[in-house]
Structure 1
Amino acid sequence: MQEKNDTDVSFCGRFADLLNNCEYSQRQVAVKLGLTEGAIINYKRDRIPKAWELLRIAKFFGVTMEWLLTGKDPMIQASSDSWRERCKLAEAKLSIVRETLQGVLTKTK
């Protein structure tokens, strides 16, 4: 049996867990977030949303963007943070995640 490591639980896994524990259907969540159901499916599989989408997701589920992206830091959203600061931080973190994923994909080819 293959051992599970920390990187196995990603944004996609955390997002899927939030959806599975949500009182709404996947379609209802998509409508409430202003996204397509296809986008929701992609986020559950392997895609990371844009900053504005990530912010909507975080607010909808009442979690922090940092927790969604990394699984670290407080899960519960702090109300004192400026949304612009959170968006800038999320964009920076998304950039790091994208670079890392590109590196991994390049190595596996």
Structure 2
Amino acid sequence: MADTSMEWLTDEGMEDLLAQPGMALVVFMAQWCQPCQTLASRLDRLASRHSAQLGCYLVDADQYPASAQKYGIRGLPTLVLFVDGDLEATRVGALDDDQLDAFIDAAL
């Protein structure tokens, strides 16, 4: 899977994460998805820039389809921003650095 330092979540890990207060970016990816692989290094930079305000996590949509289905994931990669466990915003696609920052900054 993508070479990244971000934490990978299971279905159970996803539920545990969303039971906690705070802001979390969860990115649904798949091993076969080239745009997902392209996005991975950008996500590492985003995670390090926003580490004080935002937790960043990954979910393999093929391995954990229940989570993908629960949040209506239809395309990959899909970025889902949660605030205090509530879905705040979603974006689909391999966003560039400026688009990633704008997506996060809108919620901060």
Higher strand share: 2
**Relative contact order, higher structure (CA 8 A, sep 6+):** 2
Asked whether the two chains share a fold, i.e. TM above 0.5, the reply is no
TM-score for the superposition, normalised by structure 1: 0.24
